[in-house]
Structure 1
Amino acid sequence: RTAGSAVCAAARPWRFVNSLSRLVVDPERFPDDREEMRAVGMGAVYTHTTHRERLRTSTTGHVPLLERYFHPYAQAMTEAVDARIAATGRAVVVDVHSYPTAPLPYELHGTGPRPAICLGTDPFHTPPRLRALAEEAFAGFGSTGVDSPFAGTYVPLKHYGTDRRVTALMIEIRRDTYMAEPGGPPGPGLDALADALAELVSRL
């Protein structure tokens, strides 16, 4: 919750926070050819920035970066999910991001709708009930869409596509709902977002 938010989640969620910039590695990408963002140089190790500028060569340093940052992150996240399954019989991964009002040059699907809240789903790991709970929690934001401009959600590879005990949802928040773009201070929408997230967590 934020300082002015009136709502806390009924139960404190387990948090897994990436403290590194995605310019180091992007731990939520597939580390192989399944990753479509490799087409714009933004796979697990970026070769280009969001504005399609060259960041690093296509081969230099990839393996050391994966070994030092990507794989340990993936292992730790897998262990966290395994621990929740062992304790409760299930794990719900809620993956929170933000995105700009106007599309950036790297976006592969930037021509679609850009709602205030975009819910990224997976056909195996996002059951209808989880999506419905999120739509209800964010109903006050005027526009909630699904899989546009960003689709999918994060699930550890150990569980991906095989373990229905792991459900997942990505929440992409359009930045003008809570801050002045491109990098200005937070606005009054921040507390409302915190309240909506707390409500969703409480209902999970």
Structure 2
Amino acid sequence: MSSHRLLPGAVDSPVVLHVPHSSREIPEWVRHGIDLDDAALALELDHITDAHTAAIAAAGADAAAVRPWQFVNGLSRLVIDPERFPDEREEMLAVGMGAVYTRTTHSERLRPADTDPRPLVERYFHPYARAMTAAVTDRLETVGRAVIVDVHSYPTEPLPYELHSDGPRPPICLGTDPFHTPPDLLAAAERAFAGFGGTGLDSPFAGTYVPLDFHGKDSRVSALMIEIRRDVYMSEPGGPPGPGMARLGAALAELVDSI
């Protein structure tokens, strides 16, 4: 079971579709360290997984005129969350959700609070970060720029773990970075996703993923997070996809082609 996979795109595409939270897979040795019984774990995975986002990214890649690259996490974020800081910089540590979670979406115990995160961080987090850094480096060396488009989803109603749940929850939330999200990339996303009832900015989730080697340093790396409210395309929590899936794939392809 690989912790990640890179699906090649066109050699001249700068776009990397990053899908970090779509999987429910948990290796057996990691499962032994989780305190939830099987039923409770399945329910937690329903809430925490960005279900079907890998399929949305794949549909967008298939429909794009110039195929983007796809970097997909093959493991659940309950193993490690590759988009967290692995140290005290991470604000989600306040709710037990740093790089290795100790609490659930409903603030219940997932692992003992004193769990040593280092074995999971060393085995999964750092290799994932290195591989994503290599993918971005390859785009820079090949085409001179890289554009990371994070593909996420979020629940229609806020969950207890959310630190910023009091703002708008639009059908499409666009997460930005002040250094890495240029105005033309944001405008292109607003146009591409205009048909879903509205886009919002950095609420309920803000920011976007850039490998730390480039973060705040290399303006050739652009990034934008697409957060899709789950009622747009699926039954919640953890249910099957609906007709919104195809429209989202087409919108993502439109964004990719505009880049």
TM-score normalised over the length of structure 2? 0.76
RMSD: 1.6
**Conserved 8 A contact 2:59-2:250:** no
Aligned to 1:139: 194
Aligned to 1:151: 206
The one-letter code sitting in structure 2 at the alignment partner of 1:170 is M
Q: CA deviation at 1:79?
A: 0.4
| 1:184 is the counterpart of 2:202 | no
Q: CA deviation at 1:59?
A: 3.2
61, 74, 83: which one aligns with 2:116: 61
| 1:25 is the counterpart of 2:80 | yes
Paired positions, count: 203
For 1:164-179, list aligned pairs within 5 A: 164-179=219-234
4, 8, 16: which one aligns with 2:71: 16
Between the aligned partners of 2:215 and 2:226, the Cα distance in structure 1 is 18
3-state secondary structure, aligned to 1:16: strand
Aligned to 2:134: 79
Q: CA deviation at 1:200?
A: 0.5
3-state secondary structure, aligned to 1:69: helix
Q: CA deviation at 1:132?
A: 0.3
Between the aligned partners of 2:164 and 2:106, the Cα distance in structure 1 is 15
Between the aligned partners of 2:156 and 2:214, the Cα distance in structure 1 is 33
- Determine what percentage of the aligned residue pairs are the same residue: 72
Between the aligned partners of 2:240 and 2:119, the Cα distance in structure 1 is 36
3-state secondary structure, aligned to 1:17: strand
Q: CA deviation at 1:121?
A: 0.3
The one-letter code sitting in structure 1 at the alignment partner of 2:179 is F
Aligned to 2:27: none
30, 41, 48: which one aligns with 2:103: 48
Report Cα offsets for 1:143-202 as digits up to 9, x if no partner.
100000000000000000010000000000000001111122211111111100011011
Report Cα offsets for 1:13-39 as digits up to 9, x if no partner.
111000111111000111122211111
TM-score normalised over the length of structure 1? 0.96
**Conserved 8 A contact 2:153-2:230:** yes
Between the aligned partners of 2:146 and 2:176, the Cα distance in structure 1 is 16
3-state secondary structure, aligned to 2:69: coil
Aligned to 2:255: 200
